Structure 1
Amino acid sequence: MFTTLPAEIFEAIVDAIPCSRDIFTLRLVCRQFAVALEPKLDYIYISAPSQHHSLWSHLAMHPHFARHVRTLRIVAENRLPRGFSPFDSRRVNTRLPVDLETTTFCQALRWMIDLRALQWGCDDTVPHFLGDGIWTTLRRSCPRLSELGVVDFRAGDFNTLDAVGDGSASHTWIYKSKIFDLSNLTQFSMVSGVMEILEEQEDGLDTEPLTRFLLRCPNLEILAVFFQSMGWSSPPSFDNIFTNANWSRLKVLSFNNITCSSSVFSAFVRRHPSIETLHGVDNLFLPIPWASIEHDSLPNLREFRGPLAGIKAVGASNAPVEVTA
């Protein structure tokens, strides 16, 4: 029956399948399905560094291929459509202006109407695109985006992100970009070194944009926020976030280098019995008030990783959990 459907209807049915793994399985049903799904599966998962200009140009000029992308990882690892070679900086004789590369990438991103997950950088790779156009394009053109991971590392001169490691880049911190104009995510992770620029400031990190963003994600299932700091800056307070958040589907909560008052943290944990995994790393001087966790407030907790004070508190709360220091 399906093999006799018009191609447009068959594609519409496949597009409605939420899990990409199921589409790969569907390919094994018969030869006709394998042939019909080949273009989609070739582009459904792409991983490439930001400098892979030929790939972004190809996707910008061929929207019928870009529309198949569901997972996009801007990292050093290469997982490319057939016909593309991994990016090798040693073979690049001339480097395109960053603003041109950014424009090309945004044009490609504009066609990714089925994009579900985006990983922006990793520990040793920082995308070197400029400006807020990428986040604006995501908000306008990728309505199905639900998973976002961001690495915001390495400070260069003048509070900028150093993409090449020599302090010469001109990239603003992602934390200070329009990334927080996005909404309705189910998974969000962020590792940021933005606190490094606050070592000489007294006001601390402004968490209002992050707060507004997270509260616009009512169906959040995974939240991981890590602020890296080698100095003496005060950790950001999550009191406002934890006071107003009500994520009924929250399963995974991970954080480090944040602070929160006892009453707020206790009430937040009590309102989120759905939490199954809890990882926390304390700030050296302002630890999380683990002792405020109430008895039986984490009935579904299966994994805890954190300091000794947290292990004791979770154990005393009667949570059915395996703990790791």
Structure 2
Amino acid sequence: MSPPSITNIPRELLDIITDDIDKPRDILSLALSCRRLKDLLIPDILKKLEYATIIAPFEYHHLWDHLSSHPELACHVRVLSIAPDADPSTSPHVFDYTLGLAPDDVGAGFIAAIISTISHVVKSMCVTLASLLFGVIDDEKDRDALSGFGSLISILLKIGVYLLTCRVASHRRRNSQVLDLPNLTHLHIDAGSSGRGGPVDSAAVDVWKRFLLGCPKLKCLSIFHSRFTPHNSAVESFDAILDIVHWRYLKKLDLWPSIYSSSTFNKFLARHPSIEWLDLSNYSGPQFPVGSFQHLHYLSGDLSAIRAIAPSKPPSLRTIFYLCHIDNSFGPQVDEVVRAFKSMEPTLRCVELVGQGRPFWGDYTDGLATRIHARLPRLRIDLHSSFNLYPGEDE
């Protein structure tokens, strides 16, 4: 009997091993070790490259259904960004827009496939023609004009295919069932932060649930929505999600504060002591008690976040990215900010100041930095509004 080896283990066990490898080049190195592993793993490398990072809008229901019905492909997704203005070229190229189409959708899917094929043919012809003309054209200006014309044709083709595929992909809305993404580590949801999305309601949160409940290995989560006040049903629905999720590997969290209640958020943070990076602004809840953030290294937020976090005395906090007003309205609040920084000074090493809002009387972040540096000379102060730098004593 031959000794156990990675070359003769069952394929199911080999899949479990390779699913934990994040970098395709590491799988490639393993595949090149012998012929059998090459035959088994080279297809996996292609799948990982295609599905490792996906950027698509919510309306690509066929893509989500495609992943739901193909868990062997969904397990390769590591980064998922859902944005309304996503470029369709960031979706997997092997994804077939005709998959899952209803009988009345087949015509639209067939047209999309034909248009996509024609666009690739025309683009190839343009490239071939340009290469031939480059060989006979000596004038550099004519070459630049030809190159610009080819780029214009390529852009127009992309826009046409984008509009058509968006229409086909969103042709029929599907049920918001949970999408199983067992190896997803980074999830970004943009529900219309530019203002186009409108108010968030329970129906929108129900769509978020499809992605939030199926990613047990999540490390980074960020959710943005429009600046409109969400409907009360949205807060209740999102609270219901926060009450049941538990991401044991979560390290970075960025949530818009108006979509959850403070009590639910505090309980959520208590269940996730591993958070190292927190983005918190416009916070209206109670202050956090001592011991709430045992592993917090980086805090980004405004005065409301500083007020809430400072009493907890995070033992590992080293950097604060402070969103301050850039006019003279912050004057009465300077002492409060300095006291908060001083209470965290045993571990705090750097404060990054960035202006927020439009300056009417001028940018006063320099003055704020000067007053902080006078009281806390050990702190390093970086100004994102100018080139000034206030190094700490240990720099």
TM-score computed with the length of structure 2 as normaliser: 0.58
Q: How does 1:169-248 map to 2 (within 5 A)?
A: 172=234, 177-181=239-243, 182-184=245-247, 185-191=250-256, 194=258, 206-227=261-282, 236-239=284-287, 241=288, 243-248=289-294
The separation in 2 between residues aligned to 1:60 and 1:128, in whole angstroms, is 25
Q: Which of 52, 70, 92 is matched with 1:81 structurally?
A: 92
Amino acid across the alignment from 2:193: D
Corresponding residue number in structure 2 for 1:290: 337
Q: Which moved more, 1:32-41 or 1:308-317?
A: 308-317
Residue 252 in structure 1 maps to residue 298 in structure 2? yes
Corresponding residue number in structure 1 for 2:20: 16
Amino acid across the alignment from 1:61: S
Tell me the secondary structure at the aligned position of residue 247 of structure 1.
Answer: coil
Q: Which moved more, 1:120-129 or 1:52-61?
A: 120-129
Distance 1:64 1:266, change over 3 A: closer
Residue 52 in structure 1 maps to residue 60 in structure 2? yes
Corresponding residue number in structure 2 for 1:202: none
Corresponding residue number in structure 2 for 1:144: 217
**C-alpha displacement at 1:189, in angstroms?**
0.6
Amino acid across the alignment from 1:83: V
The separation in 1 between residues aligned to 2:53 and 2:202, in whole angstroms, is 21
Amino acid across the alignment from 2:63: L
Amino acid across the alignment from 1:313: I
Paired residues, number: 281
The separation in 2 between residues aligned to 1:301 and 1:70, in whole angstroms, is 32
**C-alpha displacement at 1:177, in angstroms?**
4.8
Amino acid across the alignment from 1:222: W
Amino acid across the alignment from 2:43: V
**C-alpha displacement at 1:311, in angstroms?**
6.1
Distance 1:191 1:12, change over 3 A: same
Corresponding residue number in structure 2 for 1:277: 319
Corresponding residue number in structure 2 for 1:305: 353
**C-alpha displacement at 1:275, in angstroms?**
2.3
Is the 2:306–2:337 contact (alpha carbons within 8 Å) kept by the matching residues of 1? no
Structure 1: stretches of 5+ with no match in the other structure: 162-170, 196-204, 228-234
**C-alpha displacement at 1:43, in angstroms?**
1.4
Corresponding residue number in structure 1 for 2:182: 113
Tell me the secondary structure at the aligned position of residue 305 of structure 1.
Answer: strand
Is the 1:274–1:298 contact (alpha carbons within 8 Å) kept by the matching residues of 2? no
Distance 1:256 1:147, change over 3 A: same
**C-alpha displacement at 1:318, in angstroms?**
4.2
Residue 323 in structure 1 maps to residue 388 in structure 2? no
1:66-117: per-residue Cα shift (whole Å, max 9, x none)? Answer: 12222211113342112348983455279556xx4352xx34x1x2122222
Amino acid across the alignment from 2:19: D
Is the 2:235–2:261 contact (alpha carbons within 8 Å) kept by the matching residues of 1? no
Is the 1:238–1:259 contact (alpha carbons within 8 Å) kept by the matching residues of 2? no
Is the 2:80–2:186 contact (alpha carbons within 8 Å) kept by the matching residues of 1? yes
Q: Which moved more, 1:121-130 or 1:62-71?
A: 121-130
Is the 1:152–1:175 contact (alpha carbons within 8 Å) kept by the matching residues of 2? no
Whichever structure has more helix as a proportion of its residues is 2
Residue 63 in structure 1 maps to residue 71 in structure 2? yes
Distance 1:311 1:46, change over 3 A: farther
Q: Which of 209, 212, 226 is matched with 1:153 structurally?
A: 226
Tell me the secondary structure at the aligned position of residue 280 of structure 1.
Answer: strand
Distance 1:41 1:178, change over 3 A: farther
The separation in 1 between residues aligned to 2:318 and 2:217, in whole angstroms, is 25
Distance 1:302 1:260, change over 3 A: closer
TM-score computed with the length of structure 1 as normaliser: 0.69
Tell me the secondary structure at the aligned position of residue 228 of structure 2.
Answer: coil
Tell me the secondary structure at the aligned position of residue 294 of structure 1.
Answer: helix
Corresponding residue number in structure 2 for 1:123: 193
Corresponding residue number in structure 2 for 1:200: none
The separation in 1 between residues aligned to 2:373 and 2:314, in whole angstroms, is 14
The separation in 2 between residues aligned to 1:210 and 1:247, in whole angstroms, is 13
**C-alpha displacement at 1:282, in angstroms?**
4.1
Amino acid across the alignment from 1:12: I
Distance 1:265 1:310, change over 3 A: farther
Residue 26 in structure 1 maps to residue 100 in structure 2? no
The separation in 2 between residues aligned to 1:137 and 1:179, in whole angstroms, is 11
The separation in 1 between residues aligned to 2:369 and 2:241, in whole angstroms, is 32
> Which of 1 and 2 has greater Rg?
2
The separation in 1 between residues aligned to 2:71 and 2:310, in whole angstroms, is 49
Identity fraction in percent: 19
**C-alpha displacement at 1:5, in angstroms?**
4.2
**C-alpha displacement at 1:65, in angstroms?**
1.2
**C-alpha displacement at 1:143, in angstroms?**
1.8
The separation in 2 between residues aligned to 1:15 and 1:175, in whole angstroms, is 33
Amino acid across the alignment from 1:145: L
1:36-87: per-residue Cα shift (whole Å, max 9, x none)? Answer: 3322332122111111122112112212211222221111334211234898
The separation in 1 between residues aligned to 2:278 and 2:68, in whole angstroms, is 32
